[in-house]
Structure 1
Amino acid sequence: MRTVTVVGASLAGLYAARALRAQGFDGRLVIVGEERHRPYDRPPLSKDFLTGRVDEAHLSLADAEEETELAAEWLLATRARGLDARGRTLLLDDGRTVATDGIVIATGASARRLPGDDGLTGVHPLRTLDDATALRAALSGGSRRVVVIGGGFIGAETASACASLGHEVTVVEAAPLPLVPQLGHDMAAVCAALHLRGGTELVTGVGVARLHGRSAVIAVELADGRVLPADLVVVGIGAVPNTGWLAGSTLPVDNGVLCDDGCATALPQVVAVGDVARVGAVRSEHWTSATEQPAVAVRNLLAGRTVEHVRRLPYFWSDQYGARIQFAGRRRESDTVRVAEGSTDEGSFLGLYERGGRTTAVLAVDRPRSFMRVRRELARAAQPAPAA
């Protein structure tokens, strides 16, 4: 294999490039990135970067020395627009082509847009560094009435950051409670109380009907007729995998690039990792997936077949209103949950999800050491056997 192309200068893309060199690939390495930035860390965008505690330089994931060691060709501010039928040629939006022997797809996902927000200033997604830079600038001009649409992790973290800057914040969540699919009703209710503790109003069980304003947003109208005045609106209603550029190729796509348990696609010498990859029917938009999948994907790419499977223990964390929320494992609706340490009333606790006498998942708020212990135990139990 003489040339490998990584499509996506993302966290997962960078980890794939590192894995290629670490596993002995010494050929031509091409990294294509739609953004103008080198790979950067996204989690701080809705936290310390938004509040000004860190700047762009602190987000960089690779220094000059590592970039030299990678010896990669960086094609930035360049969008992939197609892949030939055999997966051997990458088509770029500027008309260039890249002939390649192997491809790592790491194009990530894009923020889902709210219908009707086109052309209105003051409406902000928060997915990229440029998104965060624009929102931070908008928040710097004095007190604002901020409406955050979506109570998931991005929405909650953004609301927390805005509240800490002194803005009047309202979070609108269409579900009865935020994070119920991930945490279950009881624990979701506990985490939702953090908004109240942080001085943020939480409106649940109602969707958004439309935005008001001619050139700039002035209000958010809810489905029940209520109107929330707004100087700024942050849209955090999920993300869509970036697979549009693969239309017309023979690569199967369905809510992500379809892969086996080793990140290998249906096309020989093409693997996918990170937010865009649906690995074994699961697409996981978490930092740990983007850092753990690439080493396995690259090993299988270089081997020419699946020789290793990805470990499957979902893990995510979120910093909200001065509290750190951590979750690991896979819960089902039938699981019971008990507080093993601390107290939900006190705001610091360890919750264990259980099924048939065994622990299936763990949730912690400000209990990092206890959480890591249980997470390690769950990870050992989830270790897969090597591929045949």
Structure 2
Amino acid sequence: MDILIIGGGQAAASMAAKLRALGHDGAITVIGDEPVAPYQRPPLSKAYLLGDMPVERLTLRGPEWWDEQKIRLMTGVRAMRIDRATRQIETTDGRFAYDQLALTLGAAPKRLPAGLGGDLAGVHTVRNLGDIDRLQPQLVTGRRLVVIGGGYIGLEAAAVARKLGLDVTVIEAGARILGRVASSETAEMIRALHRDHDVHILENRTLARLKGDARIETVQLSDGQEIPADLVVLGIGIAPETALAADAGLALDNGIACDAQGRSSDPAIWAAGDCASFPWQGERVRLESVGNAIDMAELVAANMLGAGQDYAPKPWFWSDQYDAKLQIAGLNAGHDRVVKRAGSDALGGSVWYYRGDRLIAVDALNEARAYMVGKRLIEAGRSPDPALVADPDTAVKELL
């Protein structure tokens, strides 16, 4: 059985490795459009952007591993069309046949249209290695950076820029930073962290356009305010890569719509990672995280070989900003109660999300023990009394 994997990221590397580990001895080909082998993405907007991690440490597998495993890795090759009738992929390097096809295409950053100044020099996104290699040399002490979007990616870029000595302003269109992903209590801890590092945060302020003569000069807000800028980082969200699947007529629903086993609407085509949505706990979800990319890819590998297992994710995420670490367990969607627990220092603390009487997620800033306890409770389906969570006299380990 010939297996073809389209996409050259974490999910692709994990799937290929799992296929071999499970004993598949047929051909495996991985095709990615970036010119480099699969690499870690989380350090891009943190240690790598800061200059603390060399590019060699980003690489997931060295060239000798691909050779030893007899996995064909093709970099710098773009998949253009899926021919489902003949089970072939048309690429910039020819056509390739498959018996089973996996789409691990990831997601792409949203960009501003040219009419709003999105094509000006000095306007950057933060998603892949090429993005960071273009941005990093521009992060020079004393320059003025404006970050559009107060989500995790934008805030991580802001933290790196401040550590490098830039003047940083964050513009958030919503009422507060992290409005789509975290509670106001978590947002307040992160806001305080950035203000302690002299980042200017402007919330409930929408962008009108970016202005400049070929290169960014000012950021104009909808209220008429203009903020001088030498650089702009766009952190306005990402969208799953679905164009290839859509062109092939596969079902889409917040990404490539898969069943619980990772199979698309075509039984010979699978998907995993940021580009794939799947049913879970009565809802259709799509998770953007390294943990999901690895776990779902490995499950799909097993199911390609006939395991027939449903995916039951254990969501976890993290964000490094300055010397602080925010760790997240579970999904807070649909919560109706939030309990704040004080941290061991002024900058830390944890936020516990409940839906009814059920604990569904925990955010922990500089509180690794609270994160680990919360994660264990969520995965075990156990929910401590919110009053005990909030009580500073209750040691967090007692919640177990």
- Normalising TM by the smaller chain, what interval? over 0.9
Of the structure 1 ranges 285-294 and 367-376, higher mean CA displacement relative to structure 2 is found in 367-376
Structure 1 segments of 4 or more deviating over 4 A?
A: none
Residues 186 and 349 (structure 1), Cα distance of their counterparts in 2 relative to 1, 3 Å cut: closer
CA gap 1:92/1:212 in 2 versus in 1, 3 angstroms: same
1:356 aligns to what? 356
RMSD of aligned alpha carbons: 1.8
Query: How far apart are the structure 2 equivalents of 1:247 and 1:92?
Result: 16
**1:322 corresponds to:** 323
The separation in 2 between residues aligned to 1:93 and 1:240, in whole angstroms, is 23
Structure 1 residue 109 corresponds to structure 2 residue 107: yes
> Shift of the alpha carbon at 1:372?
1.4
SS in 2 for 1:160: helix
CA contact (8 A) 1:17 1:70 kept: no
Mapped to 1, the partners of 2:132 and 2:320 lie a distance apart of: 17
- Inter-partner Cα distance in structure 1 for 2:219 and 2:332: 35
C-alpha separation in 2, matches of 1:247 and 1:358:
38
User: Quick one: which amino acid aligns to residue 338 of structure 1?
Assistant: V
Moved more, 148-157 or 192-201: 192-201
CA distance in 2, matches of 1:369, 1:40: 29
What's the counterpart of residue 10 of structure 1?
9
- Unaligned stretches of 5+ residues in structure 2: 383-400
Q: Give the equivalent residue in structure 2 for 1:19.
A: 18
Q: Tell me the residue number matched to 1:136.
A: 136
Q: Are 1:208 and 2:207 an aligned pair?
A: yes
* Local SS of the residue matching 1:361: strand
Q: Distance in 2 between matches of 1:248 and 1:191?
A: 41
Segments of 5+ residues of structure 1 without an aligned counterpart are 383-388
Cross-structure match for 2:190: 191
Q: CA deviation at 1:42?
A: 0.7
Question: How far has the Cα of 1:245 moved from its partner?
Answer: 2.2
Structure 2 Cα separation of the partners of residues 166 and 191 of structure 1: 19
CA drift of 1:357 comes to 3.0
Structure-2 separation of matches of 1:111 and 1:355:
31
Q: TM-score, normalised by structure 2?
A: 0.90
Equivalence map 1:44-123=2 (5 Å): 44-86=43-85, 88-94=87-93, 96-116=94-114, 117-123=117-123
Alignment of 1:149-164 (within 5 A): 149-164=148-163
CA apart distance, 1:228: 0.6
Moved more, 63-72 or 48-57: 63-72
The residue matched to 1:180 in structure 2 has which SS?
coil
Residue pair 1:149, 1:237 contacting (<8 A) in 2 also: yes
Match of 1:180 in 2: 179
2:313 corresponds to 1:312: yes
CA distance in 1 between counterparts of 2:257 and 2:324 reads 36
2:66–2:72 contact (8 Å) kept in structure 1: no
What residue number does 1:285 align with?
288
The alpha carbon displacement at 1:137 in A equals 1.1
Please, which of 270, 292, 297 is the counterpart of residue 294 of structure 1? 297
TM-superposed CA distance for 1:205, in Å, is 0.6
Counterparts of 2:303 and 2:287 in 1: how far apart (Å)?
20
What is the number of residues matched between the two proteins? Answer: 376
